[in-house]
Structure 1
């Protein structure tokens, strides 16, 4: 659990160091993801990327000069009925949502995506039984 606490501390620090709309938005997106499933854990990977996981990566939260990006590692497998994905659309696996300053956040649709990816991560293939 110490590792998770350290990741949470590092994410807090990233939000604080941004000090602008990106930090505020990352904090808001983080809260939505964590509210969606209380068993999601926070991780800090790849030299500074916030990652939220349960049974595998749920999403990452990257910040750039003009965008806050949530990347869903298995996004291409998700239904996305609300059309949130607007980036990384050409790949076979990932999908992302780019948020620009002032963009609205559809928290209900984002929560539904988190639920869907957690269910996908937790789905286990049952071994075939010998007859």
Structure 2
């Protein structure tokens, strides 16, 4: 899956102990569907398909945190999203093993976003 040169440059500058985990989450999201692209918005990598899907919260240092902009409207049968607001939800990944456990659910949510946008 091609990556964005802007996001690649952001990762070069990214100084965080969770950098390898954030990069692995990035790969998982991009591998969800070839139509997903990435850009930098709000000073963080953001995944896009016919609108903003999710953005990293780059200051999280204890885990990788991915905020789904309209996560409250996405199906979450595996319960990986946190939050109770009207619009957004957050998926947190504690480490690479946690990401491995949640990878299929994460990718299902990205595909659900795409399906909703294509409907």
Per the normalisation by structure 2, the TM-score is: 0.82
What is the root-mean-square deviation of aligned Cα atoms in Å?
Answer: 2.2
Residue in structure 1 matched with residue 88 of structure 2 by the alignment: 94
> Structure 1: which 5+ residue stretches go unaligned?
124-131
3-state SS, counterpart of residue 29 of structure 2: helix
Q: CA deviation at 1:55?
A: 1.0
Note the alpha carbon deviations across 1:93-121, whole angstroms, 9 max, x for none.
11111223466112111110110111122
| 1:40 CA displacement | 1.1
Q: Is 1:58–2:48 an aligned residue pair?
A: no
Q: Deviations over 1:50-72 (max 9, x none)?
A: 11111111111222232321111
Tell me the matched-pair count: 115
CA distance in 2, matches of 1:69, 1:8: 20
Matches within 5 A, 1:46-125: 46=42, 48-64=43-59, 65-86=61-82, 89-101=83-95, 104-105=98-99, 106-123=102-119
